[in-house]
Amino acid sequence: MMKKNETIKLDISKSGVTISAAMQERAEAANALLHNKQGAGNDFLGWVHLPSSITPASLEAIEAEAARLRAKSDVIVCIGIGGSYLGAKAVLEAMSDPFRLLHKQLDGPTVLFAGQNISEDYTCELLEALKEHSFAVIVISKSGTTTEPAIAFRLLKAELERRYGKAEAAQRIVAITDQARGALKTLATNEGYPTFVIPDDVGGRYSVLTPVGLLPLATAGVNIAELVRGAQEMEQATGPEVPFAENPSAIYAATRNLLYDAGKKIELLGSYEPKLQYLNEWWKQLYGESEGKEGKGIFPASVTYTADLHSMGQYIQEGERHLFETIVSVAAPHHRLTVESDAENLDGLNYLAGKRISEVNRMAELGVQLAHTDGGVPNIRVEIPQIDAHALGALIYFFEKACGISGYLLGVNPFNQPGVEAYKKNMFALLEKPGYEEATKAIKARL
């Protein structure tokens, strides 16, 4: 039986958009293409039915591997970049107490990330910090050939082998990669690392619900079954048989495309919860890589309020009118804290005494929504009940489905990323990688 979506409440009433019957039909047709696999990039649609295809046994295997790593390590370093990093990072930040490391008793290992940059300082300081802790590594690369994570893995593998010896190091490394191709696959087979597979038909930025996201999150103690359950519900709630008016992904996709057609070329994803900052980063990759091609596409940017109201607020209110906002709104916090009364009231805040901090935050959100819409910045609101694994799973699938529909509405292949190669060619030529001799000569002449 089809389960109605009760997790994501989408409100487009302040977007200024009226979705015509023609647009509804186009969005429904785009959604159908994702299911009947007749659209561009149809060999990368494994994510569409991914949540419902995750079995309890596959979750148990991931949990078991996570428990094994947790038992061995104070720190788990996840190596990966782009889609092999951002999903886990987004959910982890959303689910974590930002002050966890200040607690005397930790409730499990600390999950850190590497290979998402080529910073010598970052990598050095990580290696230095690891000296005081037992650690394990989860190395993630679908292609198995990406330079940034490969460099980080070479260094961390060597450190593990020096410290624990080759055999134990191999028990402290888990590889997540393609089932057959790539240097990481070869390395994992030769060294006997436990391995999880990224399905062929799931692209990096759609892979958070595969072991790419699930294993790191399980090691951090996130309830991955709940994450998947949220995504499964949203898979049902956005299926091709769901009427347009009840499909939040289709409505969001249609709305943002109509705004784009009306000249709103930049979408700001934001929230009033700093824990969702990396959700913004995950979303930017998802939409930027999926839609930014052929000279088209909404530019995905992000804000975290209220902090950014004190930096970006002026531009958003009065700068060039090419923006719209999508706010991920959290209905209820997990904690309760009120503003205290103060006998002297020198700061003049007694008018807030007794009010919850979340109420002040909510009034800021409502006030900003009206100010920005008055200033010509249309607003879309995506509300979740609270920040938990279930809601995050729903949100992830909601945005993924909307992105597929939106890309087809825009008329691009949302599942390739040809533009990502240009910088790599130049970097390899400058680094004199074997095979790039001609390109090296040519690029050096241009410097």
- Catalytic residue numbers read 289, 310, 424
For residues 203 and 216, which CB has a smaller minimum distance to ligand PA5 in the complex? Answer: 203
**For the chain, first and last CA: distance in Å?**
62
CB of 88 or CB of 330, closer to ligand PA5:
88
Rounded distance between C-alpha atoms, residue 236 and residue 230, angstroms: 10
Q: How far is the CB of 214 from ligand PA5 (least distance, A)?
A: 15
Q: Which residue's beta carbon is nearest to the bound ligand PA5?
A: 204
Which amino acid is located at 205 in the chain? R
β-bridge pairing 9-11 and 379-384: antiparallel
Dihedral Cα 366, 369, 370, 376, nearest 10 deg: 180
CB of 276 to ligand PA5, least distance (A): 20
Nearest residue (CB) to ligand PA5, 70 versus 181:
181
Query: Residue 7 corresponds to which tokens in the numbers above?
Result: 């997790």
* Helix (H) or strand (E) segment spanning residue 208: none
Q: Which of 51, 80 has the CB closer to ligand PA5?
A: 80
> In terms of Cα–Cα distance, which of 249, 254, 251 is closest to 238?
249
If the CB atoms of residues 204 and 378 are measured against ligand PA5, the closer one turns out to be: 204
Q: Smallest distance, Å, CB 410 to ligand PA5?
A: 18
Query: Is-contact 435 319, C-beta < 8 A?
Result: no
Contacts with ligand PA5, residue ranges (CB under 6 A): 81-84, 141-143, 146, 149, 203-205, 289, 417
User: Residue 1, Cα to own-chain centre: how many angstroms?
Assistant: 29
Closest separation in Å from C-beta 197 to ligand PA5 = 13
- Cβ nearer to ligand PA5, comparing 271 with 417: 417
Distances (CA, A) of 185 to 56, 133, 189, 196, 201: 26, 28, 6, 10, 17
CA distance 414 to 42: 10
Virtual torsion, Cα 219, 220, 222, 227, nearest 10 deg: -70
Q: CB of residue 204 vs ligand PA5: minimum separation in angstroms?
A: 2
CB of 119 to ligand PA5, least distance (A): 17
What is the closest distance, in whole angstroms, from the C-beta atom of residue 141 to ligand PA5 in the complex?
A: 3
Are 126 and 78 in contact, with CB atoms under 8 Å apart? no
- Tell me how far apart the alpha carbons of residues 162 and 130 are, in angstroms, rounded to a whole number: 13
Residue 19, CA distances (Å) to 10, 127, 248, 250 in order: 14, 53, 13, 11
Q: 81 is written with which tokens?
A: 């970049």
Instruction: Note whether 212 and 63 are within 8 A (CB).
Output: no
Q: Which residue's CB is nearer to ligand PA5, number 27 or number 139?
A: 139
Nearest approach, Cβ of residue 167 and ligand PA5 (Å): 27
- Whichever of 39 and 87 has its CB closer to ligand PA5, that residue is 87
CA distance 169 to 432: 31
Peptide bond just before 306 cis, omega within 30 deg: yes
Residue 73: which residues within 8 A CB-CB, separation 6 or more?
109, 133, 134, 135, 136, 172
- The secondary structure of residue 7, as a DSSP letter, is S
